[in-house]
Amino acid sequence: MSLITFAKIAWAVGVVAWYVLRIPFQRKAKKQRVADARHRNAREMTLLSISTLGLGIIPAIYAATAFPAFASYAPSPVQVVAGVLVFACALWLFWRTHRQLGRYWSVTLEIKDKHQLITSGVYEKVRHPMYSAFFLWALAQAMLLPNFVAGPAGIVGFGILFFFRVGREEQMMREAFGHEYDAYAARTKRIIPGIY
Ligand code: SAH
């Protein structure tokens, strides 16, 4: 098997694992009554589509067809091994955040009935650890897919979702939890502990 084929398979396995991990939480989250779904709007759906394009559709087309061929290059083994490790870290963090958010998790922005603020575990270090996990996934994609378009597409796609969403999410949390969220935000960074 060539290094490129191995890297593409590793990427595909990671993406499938990501979705499989999420299935039980998706079921649980669906049963929750939503108290505030104001943010479940066209803007959010557009952002989710852009993210899916960058993390799913563009890399899947590249993995299946090698399109766009002009942007392909020969990968180094170090890059591929690092990509596998980063993807493994992303999956671990993703799973932890779902375990901790439990029934409060949602694909888009919403406040559930009797929603509580989670500030422990991985949420003690940063206030958006699930988004950290998505950025790690996107980084792994850039390392595993040796193509200047398909590789970085995840960073661009998820980056757009993140930067257009995070301020509104924090605003929503601030409205729901008031001083409790202000205090939490004051002692945590967004996605990289101690840095950002
Ligand atoms: N931004 C978070 C959560 C993403 S899931 C992260 O990256 O880990 C999005 C939903 O999680 C939001 O609709 C919000 O209601 C909920 N949420 C976000 N932070 C939370 C927290 N600290 N405690 C409880 N729920 C939270």
Q: What is the pLDDT of residues 89-128, one digit of tens each?
A: 999 999 999 999 988 999 889 999 999 999 999 999 999 9
* Structure confidence at residue 163 (pLDDT): 98
* Structure confidence at residue 31 (pLDDT): 87
Name which residue sits closest to atom 4 of ligand 1, judged by CA: 130
Please compute the mean of the pLDDT values over residues 13-25 and round it to a whole number.
Answer: 96
Domains detected in the chain:
3-187 (1.20.120.1630)
Q: Give the pTM.
A: 0.97
Terminal C-alpha separation, the chain: 40
**Beta bridge partner(s), residue 36:** 111
Ordered alpha helix ranges (H), the chain = 3-31, 42-52, 58-65, 77-101, 129-144, 153-177, 179-187
Please compute the mean of the pLDDT values over residues 3-23 and round it to a whole number.
Answer: 97
* Structure confidence at residue 7 (pLDDT): 98
| Closest ligand 1 atom to 39 CA | 13
* Structure confidence at residue 82 (pLDDT): 98
Name which residue sits closest to atom 22 of ligand 1, judged by CA: 118
> What burial class does residue 107 get, using C-beta atoms within 10 Å of its C-beta: 0-12 exposed, 13-18 middle, 19+ buried?
exposed
Residues with CB under 6 A from ligand 1: 97, 101, 104-106, 109-111, 117-118, 123, 128-131, 169
Name which residue sits closest to atom 12 of ligand 1, judged by CA: 109
* Structure confidence at residue 30 (pLDDT): 84
Please say if the pLDDT value at position 19 is more than 90.
yes
CB 140, CB 83: distance < 8 Å: yes
Please say if the pLDDT value at position 37 is more than 90.
no
Taking only the tens place, the pLDDT of each residue in 54-98 is 999 999 999 999 999 999 999 999 999 999 999 999 999 999 999
Question: How many A from CA of 77 to the centre of ligand 1?
Answer: 36
* Structure confidence at residue 58 (pLDDT): 98
Question: How many A from CA of 165 to the centre of ligand 1?
Answer: 12
- In three-state secondary structure terms, 41 is coil
Question: How many A from CA of 111 to the centre of ligand 1?
Answer: 9
Please say if the pLDDT value at position 40 is more than 90.
no
Question: How many A from CA of 124 to the centre of ligand 1?
Answer: 13
* Structure confidence at residue 29 (pLDDT): 84
Q: How confident is the model at residue 10 (pLDDT cuts 50, 70, 90)?
A: very high
Please say if the pLDDT value at position 136 is more than 90.
yes
Please say if the pLDDT value at position 9 is more than 90.
yes
Mean pLDDT of the chain: 96
Q: Among 103, 105, 122, which residue has the most ligand 1 atoms within 8 Å of its CB, making it the best to mutate?
A: 105
Please compute the mean of the pLDDT values over residues 154-176 and round it to a whole number.
Answer: 97
Please compute the mean of the pLDDT values over residues 123-136 and round it to a whole number.
Answer: 98
